[in-house]
Structure 1
Amino acid sequence: MNSKEMADKAALKELIDEVAMLADKRDVHAQVQLFTENAISDTYAEGNLILGLKGRTAMEAAFTNFLKNIDTVYHFNGQQQFTINGDNATGTSYCMITLIGMENGKKMKTSIGAVYQDDYVYENNHWLIAKRTGDFQWQEKREVGH
């Protein structure tokens, strides 16, 4: 692996981590700037498309709406693998997501095991996500404190 490929892989890892950290901070506007203007974000659960979005504006509106009833968001990124081809790249990232919020008067914690398949492009001297397909492979929900 040459030094440019090593630098690109480090930059892609940083991009994925920054997306997660901004989600945890609930800074949706800054988060969607890490996607291309017309990026696609598709999320699946149990093989079914549960959210299909195109563009930063649609993503910002949907992510903001989703977070309105959630008090705590926590992403823990795990394994990541990238393939780089010039100014394009693909990658797979594993993530544990924890969401805590009120549901029916109870404080509930939802844990999600997600795998993201991403397409990246190098624009204006930095990597952006052009397409993200999230596969929520499992989910567990329980009342907090019980």
Structure 2
Amino acid sequence: MSAENLKTRQELRDLIDAYAYLGDEKNIDEQMKLFTPDATYKVFMNGIEVANTTGTETLKMEFSVHAAEVKTYFTLNGQHTVKIDGNDAIGISFSQLKMIREKEGKDTVTDYSVKYEDIYIHQNGKWLIKERIGHFLIIETRTLNN
């Protein structure tokens, strides 16, 4: 594996980690800079498409509405594999997400096990997400005992 290939793999890993960090911090403005302006973001829960958004302006609005409902996000990224072809790449990554919301005066945590399928593009000297499909494969909600 060439040094350039290793560098690109690290840059792509840094990209998906930045997505998680910024999401956990609810820093949606900075998170949108990780996408191409015409990016597509789809979400499937238990195999059913529940969201399909195009463009960072629309995505920012949807992320903002969602973030307003969540008290705390916590993300752990796992495996990340990529196939690089010049200025294009595809990747698969796995994440564990926790979201704490308040329901009926009690905090509830929802655990999500997610597989992301991504298309990346190298533009203006940096890698960006062109398309992200989130497959929320396992979803578990429970009341927290605080």
Please indicate the TM-score interval, normalised by the length of the shorter structure: over 0.9
2:79 matched residue in structure 1: 79
Aligned letter for 1:75? T
| CA shift for structure 1 position 104 | 2.5
Aligned letter for 1:58? T
2:102 matched residue in structure 1: 102
1:133 matched residue in structure 2: 133
Matches of 2:70 and 2:119 in 1, distance apart? Answer: 28
| CA shift for structure 1 position 70 | 0.9
Matches of 2:106 and 2:87 in 1, distance apart? Answer: 47
Matches of 1:128 and 1:138 in 2, distance apart? Answer: 27
Aligned letter for 1:64? S
Aligned letter for 2:59? M
Task: Quote the sequence identity (%).
Answer: 28
1:144 paired with 2:126, answer: no
Matches of 1:58 and 1:49 in 2, distance apart? Answer: 17
1:57 matched residue in structure 2: 57
Deviations 1:70-98 (A, max 9, x none): 11001100011010000000000000000
1:68 matched residue in structure 2: 68
Deviations 1:10-39 (A, max 9, x none): 000000000000000000111011000000
| CA shift for structure 1 position 41 | 0.2
Matches of 1:47 and 1:109 in 2, distance apart? Answer: 22
Aligned letter for 2:36? T
**After the TM superposition, which segments of 4 or more aligned residues of structure 1 sit over 4 Å from their partners?**
none
Matches of 1:69 and 1:12 in 2, distance apart? Answer: 29
| CA shift for structure 1 position 145 | 0.8
Matches of 1:56 and 1:130 in 2, distance apart? Answer: 10
Query: What TM-score do you get using the length of structure 2 for normalisation?
Result: 0.98
Matches of 2:12 and 2:104 in 1, distance apart? Answer: 39
Deviations 1:36-77 (A, max 9, x none): 000000000011111111010011000010111211001100
2:47 matched residue in structure 1: 47
Query: What TM-score do you get using the length of structure 1 for normalisation?
Result: 0.98
